[in-house]
Amino acid sequence: MRWLGHPVVKPVLFLWLLAPAGYLFWAALADQLGANPAEALIRSLGDWALRMLVAVLAVTPLREITGWAVLARFRRMLGLFVFFYASLHWVSYAWFDMGWEWSDIVSDIYRRPFILVGTLAWLLLLALAATSFNRVIRYLGALRWRALHRGVYAVAVLAILHFYWMRAGKSDFAEVAVYAVLLGTLLAWRLWRRRRRLAH
């Protein structure tokens, strides 16, 4: 897997990860998102945020299982794309669903649990994104930085709750179950690894 270390791989990966957002906004402008384009855009962006979250949490297990240490060089980019898609998801909700009426947004967060947990997940992602740069890492120190970035586990739990409560009204949990299994497996692997290290 030496080719993963080639300088061109990162820019190509960046464009590939950006492509879904580009397509969705093109489809929105071209009226290709169906009868309810706002809802389709909001939900699709949320789906991509979840996919990116699965990808970033899979980096370390894949690296340790395969021995491909080079995978670590993509983790920060993937993490920032989680924040990027989650931010577009939240902004689309605030814009298309709520019309940037802040009093209505605050009321909606208070009244609807799935909006509350989704907003909490986004705020945690904001903190992780803001502290993902080398200068901040040096300022915080490795131990404090690692402790803070374990918040990604809370993000995963909140994201699944957000998705579950959002689908509860339609009793459609098939996709929720898929993401819950994927994220649950990745979190369980981390817990197992941590306990194993402490045991030694």
Q: How far is CA 4 from the centre of its chain?
A: 23
What is the domain partition of the chain in residue ranges?
2-199
Residue 3's alpha-carbon distances to 43, 56, 60, 69, in angstroms, are 35, 20, 19, 12
Residue 56's alpha-carbon distances to 59, 67, 101, in angstroms, are 5, 17, 33
Q: What confidence score (pLDDT) does residue 7 get? A: 84
Residue 89's alpha-carbon distances to 71, 106, 153, 181, in angstroms, are 27, 17, 20, 22
Q: What confidence score (pLDDT) does residue 177 get? A: 93
Residue identified by tokens 């045991």 is 199
Q: What confidence score (pLDDT) does residue 1 get? A: 64
**Mean pLDDT per 10-residue section of the chain, whose length is 200 residues:** 81 96 94 91 96 95 89 94 98 95 95 95 96 90 88 95 86 88 92 78
| Residues, the chain | 200
Q: What confidence score (pLDDT) does residue 3 get? A: 74
